[in-house]
Amino acid sequence: MTSPYDEELRQLSALEARSRELQEPAEVRREWTDLAVEFVHGVVDGLDERRAWETEGGAREELLALGVPEEPASAATVMDLVEREIDGPGLQPASGGHLGYIPGGGVFPGALGDLIAAATNRYSGVRYAGPGAVAVENLMLRWLRDEIGLPKSAHGTLTSGGSIATLVAFVAARDAKGIRARDVEQSVVYTTSQAHHCVAKALAIAGLSECVQRTLPVDARYSMDVEALQAQVAADRASGLTPFLLVGTAGTTDTGAVDPLNALADIAAQENLWYHVDGAYGAAFALVSELRSKLAGIERADSVVMDPHKGLFLPYGTGAVLVRDPAHLARSHGHRGAYLQDITDIEDEPSPADLSPELTRHFRGLRMWLPLVLHGAQRFRAALHEKHLLARYFHRRASALGFEVGPEPALSVALFRWVPPAEAPVEEVNRINADILKAVLDDGRVFLSSTRIEGRFWIRAAILCFRTHREHVDHVLGILERVTQEPRLAWAPPAPK
Sorted by sequence, the CB contacts under 8 Å of residue 305 that are 6+ apart come out as 162, 165, 166, 169, 276, 277, 278, 279, 280, 283, 319, 320, 321
Report strand pairing: 90-91 vs 53-54. Answer: antiparallel
Q: Does 280 sit near ligand PLP (CB under 6 A)?
A: yes
**One residue of 170, 244, 281, 457 binding ligand PLP per CB under 6 A:** 281
For the chain, the residue count is 497
Looking at residues 77 to 116 of the shown chain, list those that interact with ligand PLP (rule: CB under 6 A): 102
Q: Does 449 sit near ligand PLP (CB under 6 A)?
A: no
Q: Does 308 sit near ligand PLP (CB under 6 A)?
A: no
**Torsion, Cα of 132, 136, 137, 142 (10° steps):** 130
Nearest approach in angstroms of CB 100 to ligand PLP is 12
Nearest approach in angstroms of CB 163 to ligand PLP is 3
Q: Does 163 sit near ligand PLP (CB under 6 A)?
A: yes
Grouping H, G, I as helix, E, B as strand and the rest as coil, residue 90 is: strand
**One residue of 138, 187, 253, 412 binding ligand PLP per CB under 6 A:** 253
**One residue of 100, 161, 311, 409 binding ligand PLP per CB under 6 A:** 161
Nearest approach in angstroms of CB 414 to ligand PLP is 16
Phi, psi torsion values for 246, nearest 5 degrees: -115, 125
Question: Alpha helices of 103-161 — where are they, by DSSP H?
Answer: 108-120, 131-148
Q: Which is nearer to ligand PLP, 100 or 130 (CB)?
A: 100
Nearest approach in angstroms of CB 249 to ligand PLP is 6
**Which residue lies nearest ligand PLP, judged by its C-beta?**
162
Inter-CA distances, 387 with 292, 393, 436, Å: 14, 10, 23
Quote the CA–CA distance of 56 and 90 in Å, as a whole number.
Answer: 8
Do residues 311 and 272 touch, judged by C-beta distance below 8 A? no
In this structure, what DSSP letter does residue 283 have? G
Q: Does 394 sit near ligand PLP (CB under 6 A)?
A: no
Q: Does 156 sit near ligand PLP (CB under 6 A)?
A: no
Q: Does 278 sit near ligand PLP (CB under 6 A)?
A: yes
Q: Which is nearer to ligand PLP, 163 or 191 (CB)?
A: 163
Q: Which residues lie across from 188 on neighbouring strands?
A: 212, 243
Q: Which is nearer to ligand PLP, 95 or 252 (CB)?
A: 252
Report strand pairing: 212-216 vs 187-192. Answer: parallel
Span between the terminal Cα atoms of the chain, in Å: 106
Radius of gyration over every alpha carbon of the chain, rounded to an integer in angstroms: 26
Q: Which is nearer to ligand PLP, 281 or 369 (CB)?
A: 281
Element (H, E) at 447: strand 447-453
Starting at the edge strand that comes first in sequence, how are the strands of the sheet with 303-306 ordered? 155-159, 319-323, 303-306, 274-279, 242-249, 187-192, 212-216
**One residue of 196, 364, 467, 472 binding ligand PLP per CB under 6 A:** 196
Looking at residues 335 to 374 of the shown chain, list those that interact with ligand PLP (rule: CB under 6 A): none
Nearest approach in angstroms of CB 309 to ligand PLP is 6
Q: Does 254 sit near ligand PLP (CB under 6 A)?
A: no
Q: Does 319 sit near ligand PLP (CB under 6 A)?
A: yes
Nearest approach in angstroms of CB 250 to ligand PLP is 8
Q: Does 162 sit near ligand PLP (CB under 6 A)?
A: yes
Q: How many of the chain's residues bind ligand PLP (CB under 6 A)?
A: 14
Interface residues with ligand PLP (CB under 6 A)?
102, 161-163, 196, 198, 249, 252-253, 278, 280-281, 307, 319
